[in-house]
Structure 1
Amino acid sequence: MRLAKAIAVAAAVVLGAGACASAGVIPDNEIVIGLDEDSTGPGASYSTIAGKTVRLSVDLINQAGGINGKPVRLVVENDESSPTKTPSIIRKLVDQGASAVILATGSGSVLQAKSILEQSKIPAIAPVVLSDAFASPPGNDYSFMIPNSLKQYAEVYCGAFEKLGYRSLGILGDASASIDGIIKTLRPALEKCATVTAVEKAPVDAADLTAQVSRLAETKPDAILVASIGGHFEILAHNTLSKIVPETQRFSLASIGNQPASWALADPKALSGMVYMGSLSADNARTAELTEKVRAVKGADYQLTAYDAQSYDAVMMLAKAIEIAGDHQDRTAVRDALQQVSGLPSSFGQDDLTLSFSPGDHLAPDSLCGLVLIEFGDDNKPAHPWDSYQPPCG
């Protein structure tokens, strides 16, 4: 009896050791890509858009024969845009054998991921994050991002302010960790061209913004910037601003332009004249091509967003890197290959935009051509590029 128990214990130990040894092993016969997708947290309104297109992009790659003749499998985890959960989520993806990770989650979570990416030596691409800090030193050896950065946003806003003579700016933001980080990055850059008269914040689920907007109006800014993750807060902000300060020019970040479901929630003409930072241009043939691919899956009436285009490009850049590396089981080799991907024609931005990475630059856009200021029309839908100003391309 004792001998039988000893054998059973020994077998359990061996099996346990084998299970631990297999954790994190990168398979040879398939390529695993990890996706951290906030599907239930505060960033879900945009992360799920990105996540669906990441899945679509992987399907398209597999339909074309995979990468280097090997199929691609996506493994998905959810950190709910909670920075405290992000490290464990990255570890889970590593344990599932991912060669690289795509981070479709909030800015705070993406920034929290940097250190664990370094420790795990696994490259990650953020397709929708705007914070320059993710792709910038220190600790950015494995961190890459697709969109134009917040500092480049500030360049474009300042170009518009200077042309139109705006010298003061009020900021209305939600109190999420992501937007807090965005405002902290944007404000110093914006203060180089305009005086920030006040920054008013409220919870993401606020039911009334009258007090915040009224205080902002008392500072009499030439323009107002709404900084939010979109959704309910963004619409409430513009509904309130359109009533209290109807003549003040309003600007916004990218979120509202990429959330068509939210537009119908706005009061009549509440979004009219508001200008947001867009990333899609009707002149980009690749955007039109991607639209057809996405509509084949998401429906004929689906309106492409920048989140779709940037997520698609993230997967394509990663696929190119794995192809260059040749060995998807070597995560550092995949990172090194990402730094060799250059001149990839972009699916977002103006037609001339290309995307590149290098050892000294982990921000993909090669110019400001990835940004387009878009004005909303009276029907509360994006109408056309803003006539008053557009960023220089080149």
Structure 2
Amino acid sequence: MWNDDFAGAWSAANFTLIEASLWQENQRRPISLPWLERSWQDPVNFWKGLHAYSNRRLGSQSKSTPWGRYDFYHDLLARHKDQSLPALVWFEQEQWHTWSYAELAQTVNALAASWEAAGVQPGDVLAILHPPGPQWLTALLAGLRLGLTVSVLPPQGNAFVLRRLVNIAPQWLAIDHLYRHQLGAEWQALALPNTLSPSAPVRRSFEYPGDAIAALCLDPISTTIDIPVAVNTDTLYLGALRDSILGLGLKPGQYCAAPGWHVLESQPSLILAVLLSGACWVQITLEALEKAPERLLEQPIEVLGISRALRNLLQANPPLAEKTWRFWFRHPAEAADYPLWQEFVEDLQLQAVFSGNLLWCAARGGVLLFSDRCRGQPNLKVFPAAGLHWQLGIIEAQDLPHVEDWG
């Protein structure tokens, strides 16, 4: 049982109990989360305790200090003890590719060196116009290594991109050479090289001050969908740390995927949470799975985000191979059609798998709503994420934008 003594509330022993309490065998059993309410009341000590617990959990020391400084490159890549563990697996040109943590770090350093030579300086704003995949991730991590303010912008069409680019006002673009020529000359001039330098970067990995702006995130469910929100390093780092442990429950070497998940809503927070835990991100598109749904079972995925589109795809063509999934989660806004989710669990024989709900908002630093993980039926519960300041308000308004027709 969690010890609610105020002085020891956020000890490593208590966080071990908190982690265990989130795995529930019986969905009907009442759940008591006194620690969650305490995290809202005492966020400073909660975050400090969680950071210390993460160091112990990973068996390696972070170079970051809550509200002090953050070395994203070190904590996301270099700190992990086993550098041979996979960091990224992606499906491209009808085959799987893998980068270990060592290989990903080497590629990030090579790209960072090229950008350093191009004149990039800490504090510059970088817009990343790659689709999710190895170039996208390498650009994101190279930007954080160099101390840039990063902004993820999927290349979804010129009008979509240009409206947002004007508001982001980047000094630099990370962009594929094929898409680059669809933009005007003033934007093309900002494109950074995609070449990898044979030399190492001159500067050490950047340490952001705690209140520095690390990201400009677009919020697709806000009333200002094309205006970026400044996210400081405290919010970006600590949110990913919490979500890696309490949201996803990931440990080093585990595989996580979420095909078809909303990029602007969840990234870069989701991928940072995966890498902070030493886990592996699996990137495959819904289009690839439509051709061959069994591809999803070719990787030992343990944590899987299932969008409504992926659910429908898998139900129409249930893959027959053995599933390694331990925990699957869905978007709370896509939970209204409960009978269809029940059928999904039955059709894919997921009665022994844990389920949960996770709502990301990268513009607010990560997960806003989460749940415990219940075995069997689709999970109906959601709670405000730990460490947040929140209040109840009106959320059903016809004039507000929404994701995929769900408010």
For the criterion TM > 0.5, the same-fold answer is no
TM-score for both structures, normalised by structure 2 = 0.32
**Greater fraction helix:** 1
